[in-house]
């Protein structure tokens, strides 16, 4: 099952529009707060840059990890843990 597709069991979407908005708003707020903190850090620009790159890498890797875990779970449901199609 993918995001924004109907759930096969109930026929309803898994997330409401309000919950999706809340998720993105919380993500954006946290990311902005991190970069405000880095900007206000009393350290040389090289240290601030290092923290900024680490924050961006952590953000990107979080998205990739979440997608990989979700895809692996869906593959296990479709094909089983050994990669063979379920009948």
Query: Residue 31 — very low, low, confident or very high, per pLDDT cuts 50/70/90?
Result: very high
| Inter-residue long-range contacts of 34-38, CB under 8 Å, 24+ positions, other chains counted | none
Instruction: Give dist(CA 36, CA 5) in Å, integer.
Output: 36
Q: Which one is predicted more confidently, 13 or 72?
A: 72
Instruction: Give dist(CA 28, CA 16) in Å, integer.
Output: 19
With 0.85 as the threshold, say if the pTM is over it: no
Q: Which helix (H) or strand (E) holds 54?
A: helix 45-79
Mean pLDDT of the chain: 85
Residue 10 has pLDDT above 90, yes or no: no
Q: What percent of the chain has pLDDT over 70?
A: 79
Residue 60 has pLDDT above 80, yes or no: yes
């Amino acid at each position: 099952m993918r995001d924004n597709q109907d759930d096969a069991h109930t026929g309803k979407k898994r997330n409401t529009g309000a919950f999706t908005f809340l998720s993105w708003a919380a993500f954006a707020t946290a990311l902005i707060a991190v970069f405000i903190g880095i900007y206000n850090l009393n350290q040389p620009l090289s240290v601030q840059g290092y923290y900024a790159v680490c924050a961006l890498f952590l953000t990107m890797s979080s998205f990739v990890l979440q997608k990989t875990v979700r895809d692996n779970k869906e593959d296990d449901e479709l094909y089983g843990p050994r990669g063979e199609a379920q009948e």
